Chain A
């Protein structure tokens, strides 16, 4: 590929605004982008960086409530900004295709997959239906979907999430487009499912020679897919380079800090084996209706320690938290606190029993009452459990705010909506600490946060543990988080504990089957990681089939 060749996609000084809170706010602030034929460009950034808006704009599309205020988007020499809807329609689906984050929501529930697959080809591409369907089956085969002849006859709700995401990729390829926009195509999937989809997408892009924009917040994922990476922040370009040099030698401070996130580690703490554990779950089983969600789960957590519970969706990790808090009474087994059995239902627990176990949630936006001030939110456990009032209460709230590194003078009277996501999560931590608990259950507390903010929260939790000696039950799906903060680790799958041990023991090979699969599926910051992994797995599966 020579530089003189006309680029496939050329975006110049693009400005896009969005309408919210009765005013227009800039979302994209003058971005340039050039994409050659057959090239894969990764777009990286945290939430609010404008990645998706930019991705959609390269199809000449803006969402309702947004508008392009300046600049140009040229696709194969044709200007898309201000182009007639008819002109855009003949490009979309045929020459530029889109793969959305959630395939489950992006397929029409009322029609068969094959009908949706061939729709553009037949109606806009002038391809006859029989041929279009035959090509679809071929694509399903390339993307390694099970049962390629029949899967198209199914309705979206009859197909699993990972397969649906591959069907959507196949649909994007239906008309052999010059450009495909992948908008976080694996973000909603579990890591073990993600691998198959990543491999399928990469194969397909290579086979058909399409150019692609690959949008993701996950640097390690983008590193596998892209030839070149652009880092975006607040609607502006931070840095742009080819993948390897971007990984090896990032230039900007922001990029460097993004790269450094994964290096945080807590000091391991020795585990007192003999003492009575602070929390113990003994062979607990539970079910929602007739659907069993937990089977004979046992765990122990000692004072001042962090126990990480890791698993994918449906593994029962959150149900374990609900079991301990008394929201999900077990059908068998029991929960012991400091050697004493806790009543199964939280409504039967005493105020003191409730006070000792506190909880922090995944999504801080819904965990804080939007109609209360910060001082009321943090103050309530103080007055409810400890009987603090008036000046003493305000004094204690101020101390807690200082502990979570927020200025009391500034934040005491504010409402949650005036805070950022990370600040809200800190308020949740302060509210939990206000009860002076010995155990805090952290349910995916960093999953909804951007990486940098998440790291800040982890560091804060670690510092608090060192100061106060509080124990954490840390529930997460993220291997990197476990590696960063756990003393002990519990691996769960389909409602059962499949592996447990100290952090060192768990992370040192050889791993048990599922633990190994889980850990190896976690993308690494190495462009060759996926290749190596696939080669290794192909080898083992050949060995197994033989």
Chain B
């Protein structure tokens, strides 16, 4: 009950966003059921038109566009989610510990992050990928590590606002250990901004992976992935065919939706303090 009420009161954009997110998750979960053809199955001529057997035509190699879009949801969303999760586990934990412990741990981690963040993220990713090669595992690890620096900064900043409060000092003076401070005192009070940030970081990672794939340096063929689907079929655009824009639209739609929801959550959590 308590969950449904704010949803009904939410602005249209947030409701729309939530609907799209749920839809995407369902598509990702039930991809094999929804897709009429296999992910990498060559089923006809290249660049077949829309309609008939192939709802949205076929791609440059003659694979069903609709099926690949559906599988793309699973692959792209899955990898982005995994990466964000990893970035939060590493960056979030380090940020909280740095804020609570302070001293040389905080100094050391903060300076390290400062230096890592002095290199633009895309450039850094390209640099590392050029050496370790582009495969899914290294993609996830590299982006998660780079993104963890941003998560570290935010979670440290959020935790700092909690750590300076007297109830944390009271817990310290009681003699509580690090685990209690992190899990019981700081994390529950830092959760709201961190969850919102998770949404934003997910969008960022998602766009980032799509951009890398678009550049041919992300998720590698024949795996269906929205970024590389745009790249593979881009030639069609010069003939006025919008098929290659569909995967790009799919990327845009989910990021817009997540952003709408995050915007609403942030507005709501800040609005409560007014007056």
- Assuming the contacts A327-B169, A363-B166, A371-B188, asked whether A381 and B174 have C-beta atoms less than 8 A apart, the reply is yes
Contacts of B173 in A (CB 8 A): 325-327, 346, 354, 359
B interface secondary structure, majority:
helix
Please, what's the 1-or-0 string for B2-31, where 1 marks a CB less than 8 Å from any CB in chain A? Answer: 000000010000000000000000000000
Contacts of B274 in A (CB 8 A): 19-20, 64-65
Contact for A370 among B9, B170, B171, B189, CB less than 8 A:
B189
Please, what's the 1-or-0 string for A305-337, where 1 marks a CB less than 8 Å from any CB in chain B? Answer: 000000000000000000001110000000000
Contacts of B9 in A (CB 8 A): 22
A125 contacts partner chain B, Cβ-Cβ < 8 Å = no
Contact for B176 among A65, A66, A368, A384, CB less than 8 A:
A384
Cα distance A349–B275 in the bound complex, in angstroms: 43
Contact for B174 among A18, A63, A354, CB less than 8 A:
A354
Tell me the count of chain A residues lying within 8 A, CB to CB, of chain B. Answer: 32
Please, what's the 1-or-0 string for B239-275, where 1 marks a CB less than 8 Å from any CB in chain A? Answer: 0000000000000000000000000000000001011
Contact for A367 among B170, B174, B188, B272, CB less than 8 A:
B170
Contacts of A354 in B (CB 8 A): 173-175
25 pairs of residues in contact across A and B, judged by CB atoms under 8 Å: A63-B275, A64-B274, A326-B173, A327-B173, A346-B172, A346-B173, A346-B175, A354-B173, A359-B173, A361-B169, A361-B170, A366-B165, A366-B167, A367-B166, A368-B167, A369-B167, A369-B185, A371-B189, A372-B184, A380-B174, A381-B174, A384-B175, A384-B176, A431-B170, A435-B174
Question: Separation in Å of the B101 CB from the closest CB of chain A?
Answer: 11
Cα distance A327–B169 in the bound complex, in angstroms: 9
Contact for A20 among B175, B188, B189, B275, CB less than 8 A:
B275
Please, what's the 1-or-0 string for A334-367, where 1 marks a CB less than 8 Å from any CB in chain B? Answer: 0000000000001001010010000101010011
Question: Separation in Å of the A479 CB from the closest CB of chain B?
Answer: 25
A384 contacts B174, C-beta separation under 8 Å: yes
Cα distance A63–B258 in the bound complex, in angstroms: 33
Cα distance A100–B231 in the bound complex, in angstroms: 61
Contacts of B137-190 to chain A: CB distance below 8 A:
165-167, 169-176, 184-185, 188-189
Cα distance A325–B174 in the bound complex, in angstroms: 10
Contacts of A372 in B (CB 8 A): 184, 188
Cα distance A65–B169 in the bound complex, in angstroms: 34
Contacts of A475-532 to chain B: CB distance below 8 A:
none
Contacts of A18 in B (CB 8 A): 275
Contacts of A384 in B (CB 8 A): 174-176
Q: A361-B169, A371-B189 are in contact. List 19 more A-B contacts (CB 8 A).
A: A19-B274, A63-B275, A64-B274, A325-B173, A326-B173, A327-B169, A327-B173, A346-B172, A346-B173, A354-B175, A366-B165, A366-B167, A367-B166, A368-B167, A369-B188, A370-B189, A372-B188, A380-B174, A381-B174
Please, what's the 1-or-0 string for A61-92, where 1 marks a CB less than 8 Å from any CB in chain B? Answer: 00111100000000000000000000000000
- Assuming the contacts A19-B275, A20-B274, A66-B275, asked whether A367 and B167 have C-beta atoms less than 8 A apart, the reply is yes
Contacts of B175 in A (CB 8 A): 346, 349, 351, 354, 384
Question: Separation in Å of the A189 CB from the closest CB of chain B?
Answer: 24
Question: Separation in Å of the B159 CB from the closest CB of chain A?
Answer: 14
Cα distance A381–B173 in the bound complex, in angstroms: 11
A21 contacts partner chain B, Cβ-Cβ < 8 Å = yes
| Minimal Cβ-Cβ distance residue in A for B272 | A21
Question: Separation in Å of the A28 CB from the closest CB of chain B?
Answer: 14
Contacts of A435 in B (CB 8 A): 174
